[in-house]
Amino acid sequence: MKKNKKLLIGIGMVFVLCVIVFGVYKNCQEPHDNRSIQVGVLSFLTGTYGQMGTDFLRGIQLYADEVNNTRMRENKKSEKISLEIEDGKANAKESINCFNRLLLHKPRVMIVAGDYQVAAIAPLADKTRIPIVTSIVGNQSFMDYNKGGWMFRNWLPITLISRVVARYAYKGLRAKKSAILFSQTEYGEDAASAYKDEFTKLGGLICSEQTYAADTHSVRDLVVRILNDKPDQIFVTGYGPGYIAALQQIRECGWNGLILTDTTATNPETLSNVNNMEGIVFADTIFGDEPASDVVRVFKEAYRQKYSSEANIYAAFGYDTMRIIVECISSEDSSEMIREKIKRIKFNSLSGLVKFTESGDCDIEIAIKMMKKDGKHIAVRW
């Protein structure tokens, strides 16, 4: 009798154990609704330009949330997009540390924003063999350190922007003499060189070239030298307090003409510190043009609802960068397959038709725009 009792208890324990094992096995076999594709994001969220990096990240998160919510609502057994986020603080050493931490999550694709941060992690890109979509990267050196072809730039190269502005100055404004005021940075030097090359190639003359430290707060002496050379137009490029001082002090020194510049004019730091933006002309994408397309209107409203603020170009590029990744990524694809898909992608983004060149650079339409007194801008037809 005791033996039978022990046997029944043993059978019961085996049954319970089988149920537990089956449950664990079933959970392991049914993760399709809960599977996630890891995407590593390295942005710059603190420091002088932290707002730019934050706006960019918000655009990424907005689209990732839209995709995940749609898949959940439609009960699709497809992978959830899971974002792992790090703040590189626009610092080379910190960016490398952040990049290495992101690798621990085994991301299928990575997003890296900012010139300093992309330059810092570039030597690691070929070794990791993970597709990396970069943004807010204007420097020409991107072309030099993307030798392995694992990185893509979803942003406007500063050399391309500067050449478009130079063509507008010469052909649109009929300027024959132009001055250049640029920061002592790789970005400023790239922009100044491209503007000068294009303007002189067309037949124009650069009558003055002045350079400032990015962290300076006064460029008055440089502006006076420029005005003494009587240019038809002035091209200002760079970033930092020096760039803001240049836009302010050119006006304060008596220049009433247009000020030609690049997309730095649209960053939050510039808009909040330059008193009068009227008459500032810059090259940008078609994002923000009126009348806006239905896609842009929907994006702006969704962004406003989620973050209680207006979407800018940085948020738009974040949103589109995430769209590129969602379009090209699948858990079943190898890294090489994902990279090939990104190479071949061609779609209508918030900023116009986007595709990548063989070298991984962005091929996108650029428009000339002019700032109004309130900081809003209008498209310039020329």
Instruction: Report how far Cα 113 is from the mean position of its chain's Cα atoms.
Output: 6
- Could you tell me the pLDDT band of residue 226, with boundaries at 50, 70 and 90? very high
pLDDT at 99 over 80: yes
Burial of 81 (0-12, 13-18, 19+ CB in 10 A): buried
**Three-class SS of residue 119?**
helix
Q: What is the pLDDT of residues 10-54, one digit of tens each?
A: 444 444 444 333 343 334 333 334 578 999 999 999 988 899 999
Q: What is the pLDDT of residues 167-191, one digit of tens each?
A: 999 999 999 999 999 999 999 999 9
- Could you tell me the pLDDT band of residue 282, with boundaries at 50, 70 and 90? very high
Question: Which tokens hold the place of 152?
Answer: 């893509």
pLDDT top residue among 169 and 268 = 169
Question: Which tokens hold the place of 346?
Answer: 């061609």
The average confidence (pLDDT) of the chain is: 89
How far apart CA 148 and CA 115 sit, in angstroms, is 18
Query: Poorest-confidence range of 229-238, 284-293, 346-355, 359-368?
Result: 284-293
Q: What is the pLDDT of residues 110-132, one digit of tens each?
A: 999 999 999 999 999 989 999 99
Q: What pLDDT is recorded for position 126?
A: 87
Distances (CA, A) of 201 to 38, 163, 209: 47, 11, 17
Query: For tokens 């002496």, what's the residue?
Result: 221
Tell me the domains of the chain and their CATH numbers. 38-156+292-365 (3.40.50.2300), 159-284 (3.40.50.2300)
What is the model's pTM? 0.87
How, if at all, do strands 132-135 and 109-113 pair? Answer: parallel
Q: What pLDDT is recorded for position 79?
A: 83
